[in-house]
Structure formats: C-alpha cells, structure tokens
Amino acid sequence: MSISCPKCGVEVSGPPEREWRFQQYQVSRFRCERGDKFNFYAGANRTFTIPRPIDNRNICISCNTDNPAEAVYCKNCGTKLHNTS
C-alpha cells in the first residue's frame, strides 16, 4: 500500500517519523518531500489522514505547483493543466 501526502499528493517513500495508538487506530506520522507533516490513521474498517485531502486541487504534473482552480496553465512553469474545473 502506498501513502500519499494529503496536501500535495506526493507519495511518501520513507518510514514514519513516529507511531502510536489512538483508540482503535494505529497512527503513523509522516513527512512528505515538501516538508508537510500528516498523520495516517489505520483501523480495522477504515483508514484516513489528518489533515484530510483537499478536493479540487489543480496541481501541475510537471512541477507539482498548486494552481488556482480556474487556471488553465501552471503559474510556475506554463504547462497546460489537466485537472481544470
């Protein structure tokens, strides 16, 4: 199972920084390559992250820049965005 940062979508390849139990969940704290930290909660019936993923992100696949939802081209590198709304 791969785990991705809920903020930027980058797949996390390293081990968790810290692990503990919270109620019925095994919690792992990860840090993505961009420096964002998030907690991954794994339970018997469900898994989720905190912070939760942000819907309708318009991230450039070339440079991983977060662009406004209405953008057609990346504000950083000019690549045409595929996730336009």
Indicate the number of domains in the chain: 2
Provide the pairing of β-strand 37-42 with 47-50: antiparallel
Q: Which domain holds residue 69?
A: 56-85
Same domain, 25 and 36: yes
User: Which three-class secondary structure state does DSSP give residue 20?
Assistant: strand
Per-residue model confidence as pLDDT tens for the chain (85 residues) = 688 888 888 888 889 999 999 999 999 999 888 778 899 999 999 999 988 665 556 888 889 888 887 888 999 999 998 754 4
CA 14 to the chain's CA centroid = 14
pLDDT value at residue 84: 42
Same domain, 12 and 37: yes
